[in-house]
Structure formats: structure tokens, C-alpha cells
Structure 1
Amino acid sequence: MTTSLFAASAADLTIERIRALAARPDQVESLTLEFKREYSKSLVTTIAAMANTYGGMILVGITDKAEPGTDRVVGVDAQDTIDRIASGCREKFDPPWEPAFIPVPFDDGSGLSVLAIRVDANTAPRPLLIDLKAPIRLSGQNSTADRGRLLRLAREEPTEGVLPMDQGLMSPQLSVDNEGTATEDFVLRTGINLPMGDAAAWRPLSERSVNALAQGLNGSALPGALRNLGHGTFDQSTGFRPLGHNRARTARLVWQGVGRRIVAHPIEAIVTVTLPQIYGPGPAAPVANITFDVVSRICRYAESMGNMSWQHRYRLPTLADLCDGLLKTLVDARVVEEIARIADIDTALVAQPRELHLIADRPVIELLPSDGLEQIPGAGTSMGGTFRANPALDLRIATERQEQIDDWLCQLGLDAGLSGMEALVERYRATTKPPA
């Protein structure tokens, strides 16, 4: 789904952002996105189809095909288009219902707009019928629900079948030794939940699909960010490969930096794919879960060296690079494609990560360098936290991904009872190249 535009407030839904979306060469019509040059009778059917499937967005005033040298964004008379669509919804839908309309005006004084139509499947009455039939959405086109699909729609609870905007990931846990002492500096977790296609609900995870995901991860931005985080504590790494608990419906891919001392793996990354165990008829909307955990033991590695003068701290550029590597990997086209293949869904339904969890073995202030940071008297401290993403940001776009990471770093400092993080972030960005 075009998550950023779907979740953006009306004020944030600008013609610049819509033009940028239309100009993307990889942005095509999908299960959750449709372009319309102007009003047509089929537009009402598309609204019903999205409502009966996963929801989505229709942008009226954009041609569905890009031609070299031409602007796809042509615009429409917003009020006239809204009136015609609303009239069609009243006449055709059983029960009556209409989506949300957001006119996005041009900035050239022409009076034209792109009309954004948001179809929220969580609020639509399902099944939404037209002429006693329930349209459904396939990849970039509409179809009609068969008897089985229609019965499932009729049995749904109001919010079944569609994932909420928040991801609801479980917070990670630190590993402990036999004496109950944590063995890790911190664990950083992000990930996504996603719906499952019919085939994924019953078939086991194949070795081929798991290995293809591992290859996608090894070619992503994450290994480079992990080596940077390692800060020279290892000179070899394993690459992502199956390790540990792998079963018919669980895959665990692990990347490890290989050290030479007591701390054998100063850095690890663990990607876990979990498909729900389904026995009997199962839930109407089974949900798969994918988590990305980064486990760091650099402070412990430094302590194992026996040199108390080296007290490792995680510097801001390293943390920013790690967060960027994680987010960039989760929106990487190849990784998304392999995740979608495992879940048997369209790539448009692979959501962008919207949560980041950090849990540390010590107060965060002891993990960060003191340069430029000051403890706020009486502010207390923290040993991690949960960081929410701005759903209006498209994490595929480097500048918007950077904006999200900077917000998280500032929150990390504030939660730790520190002042000065915002100034540190600003200085760091002023001395680095703009993101590509």
C-alpha cells in the first residue's frame, strides 16, 4: 500500500508528494493503488473492490500510464468529481457507504486538483455489494468474489481481514547467563506484520524461499551497517543463513560477526519469519510476523580485552547508520519481493516498519558518548524504549527515512534524561552528504 499517503493528514497530502509518487518508475497500480485520469463508472466498482479486500487509495487526475516527456498529473475539477462519485456510491452500494475524499489542489492557480480517495477496509461494511455481487481487488484490477470468498466476507467481524496501521511487535528480551547477568549490551528490534494469501495459510516454508530471502538480506544495506557498528571488533562475518530454530512455519536467519576472544560474536542480526500455526478452519485473517533483531556486545568485547581505559560508547553516526540500514533493508525491493512470496501476497501489502524497540542492559546514558550531552537534573534515565514511526513518512525515500531516524535519536536522548541530542543530530547532518 502507498502507506505514507494513506496515513498522511490532509495537510501533509500535498501536490508535491503526489507528483513525486506519480514520477516513481517503480510505482505501478496494485492491490491497493489505482490511478484514474478522470471520473468513470468503473471507479465506483474499484472503491467497492478495495473495501472488500485490503483497502487502498485511488488518485483521480493522474493517467494510469507514464509516457516519456509527459506529465502524468493532469488534474480534475475536484467538487464535480466528488459529487459524481458520491452519487454513484449512493445509487450502487448495498449498504450505502462512501469513502473519504481529499482534494489536493494544484499550486499554479488553475483550479485543478488531484482527488485522493481513501478506502479504509476497517470502516467499510463488508461485503459491500453492487448488483448483489461483491467486487474484490486483484493485482491492479477488479474481479468478483466467488461463493466461498463472499461467505468469508459475510462472516467477518467489523475489523477482521485487514491489518491495523500499528504493527504491534513484541518487545525483545536480553539473554542472560547462568547467574542471571545479561550477556548483551542491547537488542534493537523492528519488523512488520502482514496478511497471508490462501497458499501460505497451509503450505510449509520452503528451503528455496528461505534461502532466497537470505540472499536478499545479504545484498541489502544491513550487513554494511552491522560491520560499521562492529567498530573493528571482528574481521569476518558469516552472512545471513539458517541457524537455530527453523521449522515448517518458522525460519530463523542469522548474520554473525566472528570475533577471536571470549565474546565470539560481538554483533549478530537475527531475522525471524513466523507463519501462524493453523489447525482446523483457522482465523479469517491469519497474520505472519517478521522481526529484525540486532544484538550488540561491543561493550562486553571491550571489557574482555582487559583494558579498562577503553570504555566503548555507541556514537551517533554509528547508531544513525544502523537504523538506516535496518529501515532501508525492510523496504528494499528484493527483500520485499521475497517476503511477499513467502506470505503469498502482492508486494503492495508488505507494510513499512512502524516501530522500533530498544532494550539495554544498562542505562542508555552509559551507552552514549558524553560529548555534547548533559544529564538533566532529576530527569531520571531509561534502559531503552519503544519508538513509533510517523506513518506519513515514506521510508523508501532517503530524506524521509533520515527524518524518521533523526526523530528517533532525539527521542532516545530525551528518554535517557539528556539534553543536547537535537543539536548533535543537526551538527552531524550538516557535515554529511545528503542521502541518496
Structure 2
Amino acid sequence: MTNSLFTASAADLTIERIRAVAARPDQVESLTLEFKREYSPSLVKTIAAMANTYGGTILVGVSDKVEPGVDRVVGVDAQAMIDKIASACSEKLDPPWEPTFITVPFDDGSRRSVVVIRVDPNVAPRPLLIDLKAPIRLSGQNSTADRDRLLMLAREEPTANVLPMGQALMAPNPPRDIEGKANEDFILRTGINLLMGEAGAWRPLSERSVHALAQALNGSVLPEALRNLAQGAVDHFIGFRPLGHNRSRTARLVWQAVGRPAEQHLIEAVVTVNLPQIYGSTPTAPLASVTIDVISRVRQYAKSHGNMAWEARYPVSDLAVLFDGLLKTLVAPEVVAEIARITDIDTALVAQPRELHLVAEEQVAELLPSHGLQEIPEAGASFGGIFRANPALDLRVAAERQEQVDDWLRQLGLDAGLTGMEALVERYRATTTTPA
């Protein structure tokens, strides 16, 4: 079941689920969500504003006021409400257009329901006008498109996709010492770019929101995937917490595995949230970014320990667990909810990761196991690469996420000038079960 009311199937939209959303004290109207106790003339304007912006959900029959001990879910006569809204859309919108209506009945025999209105900007005829003006959606309220925004809407291709794909991340740049040497085996980076609501664009990061994101990360599968990568050479672990450059628009959360006997950081994971600085006004919502960097030094650590040294390489199984852990973490409902809260958008607008960057200090072939892989003559050296995700795959689904991980492993082997990766991946999958 998806976490968002916008993307949930009609069968998953139950009155219990809507009550659970309405009961949350922090659940307020946002860029992509609005509550209406009953019909009002502003409802059609909200439909147009969402259609002209990033889409969204309107719950009719749910009060926008949060009062202690008072149920916000009051319900309406669904058919009469839908008829009234559809008629108003036909009369007031230019061109006439209707969103999707879903009736969610009460379970008490009262014949009352909540009407869920879904506004999909990919199918709406943008711009939608009311009285020759194009409403747009800001954070929990409506406004009017200025000239630049109106021209942008008018020039859109009919199939333009307004949701971000989470691509075009900057490649990591390993820090180097005064001799120009890096002190890590490799850096992996993945992440997303995402739209921001109006409040997210001006509101500084709060300590509470950063702490909540750290908790969600610590409760995800990522720490276990990182511990697995350390190959047992760890004295202790330090969970995600603010460390280093944290400012009003930047949060930096770091997880560390400390080696033994020396106090060296074998594995680090750095999650960075960057909210753009806003000066003046902008015709479109700004983009924020969330990146995860995994920095591994296991091989270098092994080389530096004399009689304790071992030939440290990264087995395919460990890389598979790491890749899956990164993807699963960025689509985990708890992590997605905190990212959405920081940026003031609905969880439906939080993109899935679509890129993985690898930057290695030595040739990738030297990092991979020596058994089962063979060099392709004159294939050339590889020190990393960019791995694209298949946009048709839903990374929340375990089987589809596994398909993506396996594709990346095969690409890793081929880019490193090696054969045999497909067989190693098949052998690994034959001994494991598909993760949940």
C-alpha cells in the first residue's frame, strides 16, 4: 500500500485511512492537500490551482480546523456533492474540465461519505482559467500566476510531466590530502531532487525535523547494509546524527563505523539535505536535494594493518545488499514522510532515486572479487561511473528493486572490463530470498 492519498488505489482509500490522516495533529493543508468541510465557491479555484501547479488531493467532508477531541471527518452526501462540483467545473473552468472523484463511505450506516478529489496535472488542460486568470497553488493556499508562469503553462507540451524524476545529481568529489591522494576506496552517491512547497522555500530547517529524519534513517535498512559492508572489522557504530556543516538551509547527518584497534572510520554514510536560498520571487517552485554518500575505506584499512592485513575486496553479495539498502531507504514511507515534511509537499511528489554515482580511488576491477570474474583483454581502466535507473520500475516493490540492483551489478562488471558478473549475480540470487 502506498503512503500517499494521491497515489493510493481506490480500494486502499478507506474511511479508517482518511480518519488516521485527519487525526494527525501535524496534518495541515499544504501544496498538494486541502480539506473542505462542505462545498464552497473556492473549491473550484483550488482544483484549477492544483491542476496548474503540481496536482493534489482535496478531501471534501473533512474540516480544515484541528480541535482537540473533535472528529474532523464529518462527511457529506457524496452524489449531491459530486454533482455540484462537476457542474461548477463545467461552468467556471476554461476549458471545462473535471478531476477524478472517489467516494469513500462511512462504515456506520449513516450514508455519509468523504469525497476524494484527485487533480492530476498530467491530464489537465493547462492552463486552466477562471475569469481569464490562472490560479496556482502555494503552500496551503491559492494565488494567481504571474505573466512568466502563465506563459510557461501555455507553452507546455501536452505530455509534459510535472513530477521530478530525481535525476541530474552532481557526482561526488573525493577529498584529497596535500599529496593529492584520496583516503577512501570509493564513494557511492544516490539521491533525489524534489519540488518544494512555499513554506519549505522560506522556512529554516528545524532541529525537530532534522532529528526526525535522523531517527527515520536509523530505523531504516541502511545501517545494516553499511555494517555488512565493513566485513567484521568494526569496533563500534555511531548512528545518524548532525555532524559538520549544518545551517538553516542545510542538514548533514552522518553514520560511522569505527574500526579496531585504531580509531579509523571504515565506513561513513553522509545524508545531506539542501534547501535552496530564495531571493525575491520565482515563477516556479524551487528544487531541493537529498543525497546519500557512502564512503568506504575497508580496503585501505586492511592494507595499513601489517600482520593483520587481508586482501579486502567487496563481494557481489555485499554490494547487492548496499545497493538495495540505499534504494529501499529512499523509498521507505518513514523516510519519505520526513523529506516531504521538510520540503512542505505531499509524499506523492517525493521522487524515487534514479541515479547512482560511483567514484573509486583505484580501478574498479581491483575492488571486486578475484574469483568468478575475468578481465577482458585491452578493455581499459574504469574508476567508476554513472548508473541510471529504469524509470519504468517502481523501487518500492521488492522484486522490481531487485531487478534494478541486478542491472547495476551487471553494468558495474562490464564497465570494469570484466566478464562473469552475470553468473555471480545469478549464483547470489539462487541462495537468497527476495527482500520485502
Q: Deviations for 1:81-136, whole angstroms, at most 9, x for unmatched residues?
A: xxxx9xx999986469999xxxxxxxxxxxxxxxxx97438xx7743225646466
Question: 1:336 Cα shift?
Answer: 0.9
Number of the residue aligned with 1:154: 150
- Provide the C-alpha distance between the structure 2 equivalents of 1:45 and 1:279, rounded to a whole number of angstroms: 28
- Provide the C-alpha distance between the structure 1 equivalents of 2:98 and 2:13, rounded to a whole number of angstroms: 31
Q: Alpha carbons of 1:330 and 1:434: their partners in 2 closer, same or farther (altered >3 Å)?
A: same
- Provide the C-alpha distance between the structure 2 equivalents of 1:350 and 1:182, rounded to a whole number of angstroms: 33
Question: 1:373 Cα shift?
Answer: 1.1
CA contact (8 A) 1:375 1:417 kept: yes
Number of the residue aligned with 2:219: 219
Number of the residue aligned with 1:435: 435
Q: Aligned partner of 2:202: which letter?
A: W
- Provide the C-alpha distance between the structure 2 equivalents of 1:418 and 1:199, rounded to a whole number of angstroms: 49
Question: 1:382 Cα shift?
Answer: 1.1
User: What are the equivalent positions in structure 2 for 1:322-341 lying under 5 Å apart?
Assistant: 322-341=322-341
Could you say what secondary structure the match of 1:201 adopts? helix
Could you say what secondary structure the match of 1:423 adopts? helix
Number of the residue aligned with 1:176: 176
Q: Aligned partner of 2:285: which letter?
A: A
In the alignment, does 2:285 pair up with 1:285?
yes
User: What are the equivalent positions in structure 2 for 1:22-171 lying under 5 Å apart?
Assistant: 51-55=51-55, 94=94, 119-120=121-122, 126-129=126-129, 132=132, 134=134, 145-147=142-144, 149=145, 153-154=149-150, 156=152, 158=155, 162-171=162-171
- Provide the C-alpha distance between the structure 1 equivalents of 2:199 and 2:148, rounded to a whole number of angstroms: 16
Q: Alpha carbons of 1:22 and 1:263: their partners in 2 closer, same or farther (altered >3 Å)?
A: farther
Q: Deviations for 1:25-78, whole angstroms, at most 9, x for unmatched residues?
A: 799899889xxxxxxxxxx99985554122589xxxxxxxxxxxxxxxxxxxxx
CA contact (8 A) 2:194 2:349 kept: yes
Question: 1:397 Cα shift?
Answer: 1.0
Q: Aligned partner of 2:214: which letter?
A: A
Q: Aligned partner of 1:277: which letter?
A: Q
- Provide the C-alpha distance between the structure 1 equivalents of 2:366 and 2:316, rounded to a whole number of angstroms: 13
Question: 1:201 Cα shift?
Answer: 1.3
Q: Deviations for 1:290-346, whole angstroms, at most 9, x for unmatched residues?
A: 100000000011011114861111001100101111111111111111111111111
- Provide the C-alpha distance between the structure 2 equivalents of 1:392 and 1:49, rounded to a whole number of angstroms: 29
Could you say what secondary structure the match of 1:251 adopts? strand
Number of the residue aligned with 1:14: none
Unaligned runs of 5+ in 2: 22-29, 34-43, 58-85, 100-118
Number of the residue aligned with 1:374: 374
Number of the residue aligned with 1:399: 399
Q: Alpha carbons of 1:245 and 1:138: their partners in 2 closer, same or farther (altered >3 Å)?
A: closer
Q: Aligned partner of 2:341: which letter?
A: R
Say which is worse superposed, 369-378 or 88-97, in terms of deviation: 88-97
Number of the residue aligned with 1:265: 265
Unaligned runs of 5+ in 1: 7-17, 34-43, 58-84, 100-116
Q: Alpha carbons of 1:355 and 1:211: their partners in 2 closer, same or farther (altered >3 Å)?
A: same
CA contact (8 A) 1:245 1:251 kept: yes
Q: Aligned partner of 1:239: which letter?
A: G
Q: Alpha carbons of 1:308 and 1:383: their partners in 2 closer, same or farther (altered >3 Å)?
A: farther
Number of the residue aligned with 1:275: 275
| Coordinate RMSD, CA, aligned | 3.8
Q: Aligned partner of 2:364: which letter?
A: V
Number of the residue aligned with 1:203: 203
Q: Alpha carbons of 1:378 and 1:236: their partners in 2 closer, same or farther (altered >3 Å)?
A: same
Question: 1:179 Cα shift?
Answer: 0.9
CA contact (8 A) 1:126 1:153 kept: no
- Provide the C-alpha distance between the structure 2 equivalents of 1:201 and 1:413, rounded to a whole number of angstroms: 41
Q: Alpha carbons of 1:301 and 1:332: their partners in 2 closer, same or farther (altered >3 Å)?
A: same
CA contact (8 A) 1:134 1:144 kept: no
Equivalent pairs counted in the alignment come to 360
- Provide the C-alpha distance between the structure 1 equivalents of 2:13 and 2:427, rounded to a whole number of angstroms: 34
CA contact (8 A) 2:205 2:251 kept: yes
